[in-house]
Structures are given as C-alpha cells and as structure tokens.
Structure 1
C-alpha cells in the first residue's frame, strides 16, 4: 500500500489518496473522526483547535461501508480557510501579499525551505511544513487501524514524559488489564495513565505558558496481537524497525526514536538486554521478557511492539527568539503564528497512527491479496505453519 497527502495549513482542505487497499474491509467514518478528535484534544493546545473540528469525507474507494479495492480518497476541510481565501488563492489575478512572511522562525522549515525552493514569501514553506498536515496522516492511520482490527491487532498510545516529568512506560506498568489501562489514558488530559503525574505535567505546561515558553516530551506506542515475522532481515529497506523509525521521525518536531529498551541498552550488559526464548505446548515459542520491543532482526517476534518518540518543544514561542529578515538582513525577534504550549498528548495520537500504517503495510506484504477473504486464509495457514514448526 502507499499514500500521498496534499494541502496547506490555511488552504481549502487536506487530501490523502491511499492505493493498494484490498477489498471487503469494513470502514467506519465515525471511528476515523474519533481519532481526529483525539488529535485535537490535550492540555496545552492552542486556538486553532477551537476553530477546526476535523471531520473526514471519503470520496472514493469505499462503498456501503466496505473497501472496493480502488484508491481511497480522504478529505478534511479547513474551516479557517474562509479567512484566508485571498491570501491562499491559486488565481494569479488575485495576488494578496498582506500576509507575506519574510522573517524565518528558528526551529521551523522557513529559512531552509526558502533557500531550497528560492521563494521570497516564506508562507509558501510554512503552510505545507505545518503540523496541520498530521491531521490527514491520522486519517490514513485510522484506515490502517480498521484494516488490522479483523485480525485481532490492537494498539494504544500514551505520554510518558512532559518537560522532564516522567511516568512509567508500558513495560514498567506491566498492566494485567490493557482495557483498564487504556481507559486511564483516555481519561487523562495529557494522555498519561498516572493521575498524579498527569497533574504534575499540567503544572509544567502551565508554567511554560505563563513564561511564553513551550515544553516537549516522550510518547509511547504499543501494538499487540501481531504475528511473528512481519518485516524482513534480507534487505535494509524491508526491516520493520527501520521503517518505523523513519515514520516516527517524519512527524513534525520529533527528534528521536527508540524501540524496547532503546538507548538504555548502553547502560546494561548483554545478559540484561536480550530476551531469552522458551517453548511450551500452550504458547509455542515465546519470550518471557520484551526488552527488544517486539522486533528482532527487523521482524516482529510476536511480543507487543513498543516504540517511543521524543518531541521537541514547539519552536513558535510567545517569548520570541532572534532571527534575521530575508529582505533587509536586519535582526529581529521572531513573529508568532498560532501556537500550542504543549502538543505532546496530540502527538501521541499522530505517532500511533503513523506506526499503524507501517504495521499494516508490513502485514499486507506478508499476507498479500486483493480481498479480505484471501488475506484471512493466508494468515490462518501461516499461523498453523508457525504453530507446527
């Protein structure tokens, strides 16, 4: 499967086209909209979230609630476009430079993009590089989520660090009931399972906001119910961990990624890092620990996939940073477009959905076919082979 997105932050809409989705899979628009709503929530979000109420429209590839095998077109209309029609017009007879941007903001794509594409209005860069683009990527991931559901593959995301306030990871939590854990996460304004840490994180966000500053953090995505063997060891670009790393780092403002123990393996001996292999009649092959985060040799192990990403503090500050005007070359203090004090809770939703896209792609590479019936049969046969290995 593959997809392409298009659209600007203040343009008329965001669009995605997904190609390669097999036929016969149920698709629920309300479930996609639920993911979009989660992306817009979270303590510390800015005014844009009060303007937009993202809703998806499916324009092709789904009929009577099921995929047809044709390309799927997804659209999210930008409600704020009504105020930007002249500024974002495609008509060369209606040029409006009233909101031209000549002052690049530190930490953004503005200056690099302007130099690369040789444009003198940096709005051409910031409109596309904006994190607004993640809304349409969440819809793509929400489709992937629904494609995986029939095979018992589930996921969740949560926040384990905001501004240095640390909460327990999935492996540290060791939940006996995942549904209860998910309910705790969903009830938290910062998507943290620990209520005490939730309050401390909110205080950190309030502190940053009061100082005209921003805070970043760490999000964790967990996917369980995966069969062993998704991905491959035979080529660098087929390794699932490599593809997941690229997906996480493609999210705006994300600067690092780790699987399982991640960077902590540098502090331990090999005997404390690797997952020993066991076998019994009930489970077959299994691992008693999951330090690898569910991937070894670029392939899933059958244990939960655990991946984390770190998001930097948003660079648009109400306490502006220094920069240089591209016209006059004079120094100035960077201008402010609408901004969040903290978008980490929302970013956890984005991370979950980009991970689900890569997982679904690996799944359908392994169990390929044009229809749900074909794929279901392939999975059934494969699981039997694995069981009898």
Structure 2
C-alpha cells in the first residue's frame, strides 16, 4: 500500500514529500515529474505566484540510476518566492508584523483556535494550496506506476461559475486539453468560462467550478466491499476532499442518481460475443466499493478562492474591531490547476 506525507509552508524555503510503498525497478526521472508540475501551473485566472514559481522536483532518495529502489522516495520542490520572505518565514528567532485579520472561507480563524496561534500566518502558510505542488509531484510517481499496468489518466474542466459543458458518455480527454486556457475540450464553453473569470476579476471576486477525472484501463477488483475504509469510492472521495477548496465529490452520475429512477441509474449487464459488457457507465466504474472494469469517472466541485481583492467583512483579532478581511496574493480561478 502506498503512503505519503508532505511538509512545508507556502513561502518557506521548500516543500518536501515522502512516498512509501513503490516497488523496485520502476523507471522514474525528475523530468517526468516536472512535466506534471508544469501542468499544475497552467490555467486562465491564475495569480502572480505562478509567474514567480517554476516548479522543479529534486529526487532526494529512493531512486538510483533512473530506477526506483523500493525504499521511500523523498522529493523536494523549492519555493523561488522564498527569497522575498526570508525574514518573515525564518526558522530562526525573529519578528514579523503579525496577520490578525482572518479571511472568511479560509483556515485562518478555525486554525488559530485549534493551535492557539496569535499570528494567522502560522496557519495560512501551511493551509495554503501551495502544498498541492508536492501532491502533484508524489502523484506523478504513482501515475508512472499506473502506466506500467496500462492505466491512462485524464482530467478536464466541466464548469467555471455558471458556464458549463457536459461531455458525452465514455469521453476521454486527449492532449488538446492542456492547450486550452481553462482545460476544457469545448471551445465555445471555454469562451464562456473565460468570461466568468473576467467578470469575477473585474468585480474583485473569485470563481469556482467543477473538474472531472477519468481513469481508463483500470482492472476489475480494486477496492473492497468488506470494510468501509477499503471501499474504492470512499478512498477516492477522501483524497479529493483533501484538496483545499474542494467541497463536493461525485462518482459516475453522483447526485444526479438521486433524481432518477433505478432503471435510469444502474448499468445493465449484457453478453456480447461471449463477453460480459456494459453499454452505459452511470456507476462511474465502481459498484459496491469495487472497480468493475469500466472507466473510473469522478467529479469534484471547487469553491471560489477565499482571498478576494474586494474583501468580505472580518474582525481584527487583536482589538476585536470590524475590518475588511486580510488579503494575500491569490488566484481568481484555480479550477484548471486542480
């Protein structure tokens, strides 16, 4: 079983991660990981941070001569913006102007109550979505393993704000998705999505959306129905809900299944040329917590980024006076990056 951990702050020196459980002998390079990191930095609506960072992974352990060793793999991604934050984020003794005004929708307030921090920067630095750069790097290693078994992964955006596009059943995205500024395969929908981002930017606001992930070539039998924590759908949902800003997950029809009769939800089982086949994939490739051999189809809904250029009301925690929320440099829309 794979286990992973990450560490690091948004404006700290670097992000680090450890992945344990990878088999020995798998071909792996820093360049392969870097290609996935570059995809994370794309997307219309991203903020100024993406113009600073040029994420590159350094393999610190677990790989020798381009092959995994079977031991834990440690990765490091440096923060180029660290040079501008050396004093504020120093690990040594020092002082900095504290952040005392929490942002609605962020971990600032709840995190300060949980850990007893007076300076909200002690919360927001780790709670920042910057940490997901390391998840992408570690995920790239796992993706490399899936390639050995013929499993293909694809993702695309289906909505931004009120602009949406519904893909045909069995749709699998190609490389053209990465050339779209919003990672949407449909050009007309992409234009509408750009308009949603532009409207939010002009209003000093932010905008969320929905993205879809498809895994093709997944063999039947992954996951289990015997214990709740071994169900494949439960584990996928937990992984996606762990991404900052994700507020909902659907597998297959998802919430739409609650509005349809059973005859329009479940996938009939047919025999064709001596083979068991499905003509629909409304279950999204998972039945009873177990993969059934059809493509795994998962959607996740991202809320708008909580940092707004026209901030919502908040309270200064030092003197308890009403003030506008704290502002940090951020994206208008981060859905394509997910």
- Higher mean C-alpha displacement, 290-299 vs 334-343: 334-343
2:301 and 2:272 mapped to 1: Cα distance? 38
Please state whether the residue corresponding to 1:36 is helix, strand or coil. Answer: helix
Scaled by the length of structure 1, what TM-score is found?
0.85
Q: CA deviation at 1:187?
A: 1.8
Shift of 1:168: 1.7
Q: 1 CA distance for matches of 2:277 and 2:221?
A: 13
Q: Which residue of 1 aligns with 2:120?
A: 122
Give me the whole-angstrom Cα distance separating, in 2, the residues matched to 1:18 and 1:184. Answer: 30
1:110–1:125 contact (8 Å) kept in structure 2 = yes
CA distance in 1, matches of 2:271, 2:153: 26
How many corresponding residue pairs?
337
Written as runs of structure 1 = structure 2, the 5 A alignment for 1:193-272 is 193-272=185-264
Deviations 1:264-308 (A, max 9, x none): 0121110110011123346x3221110000000000010000000
Is residue 286 of structure 1 aligned with residue 277 of structure 2? Answer: yes
Unaligned runs of 5+ in 2: none
CA contact (8 A) 2:26 2:145 kept: yes
Is the 2:62–2:69 Cα contact (8 Å) retained in structure 1?
Answer: yes
Q: What SS does structure 1 have at the residue aligned with 2:166?
A: coil
2:106·2:306 contact (CA, 8 Å) conserved in 1? yes
> 2: CA distance between counterparts of 1:205 and 1:219?
15
Matches within 5 A, 1:19-168: 19-92=20-93, 95-98=94-97, 100-168=98-166
Q: CA deviation at 1:170?
A: 5.1
- Among residues 166, 169, 183, which one is paired with 2:167 in the alignment? 169
Q: Deviations over 1:199-254 (max 9, x none)?
A: 11111101110110111000000001010000000000000100101111100001
CA contact (8 A) 1:169 1:220 kept: no
Residue 28 of structure 1, CA deviation: 2.6
Question: Over aligned residue pairs, what C-alpha RMSD do you find?
Answer: 1.1
1:103 and 1:113 map into 2 onto residues whose CA distance is 13
Q: Which of 286, 289, 299 is matched with 1:308 structurally?
A: 299
Structure 1 residue runs of 4+, over 4 Å off?
none
2:288 to 297, 303, 306: 297
Conserved 8 A contact 1:184-1:192? no
- SS of match in other structure, 2:51: helix
Give the TM-score, by structure 2 length.
0.98
> Do the aligned residues in 2 keep the contact of 1:114 with 1:125 (CA within 8 Å)?
yes
Structure 2: distance between partners of 1:187 and 1:52:
20
Residue 63 and residue 47 in structure 1: after superposition, are their counterparts in 2 closer, same or farther (change >3 A)? same
Judge conservation of contact 1:276–1:289 (CA < 8 Å) in 2: yes
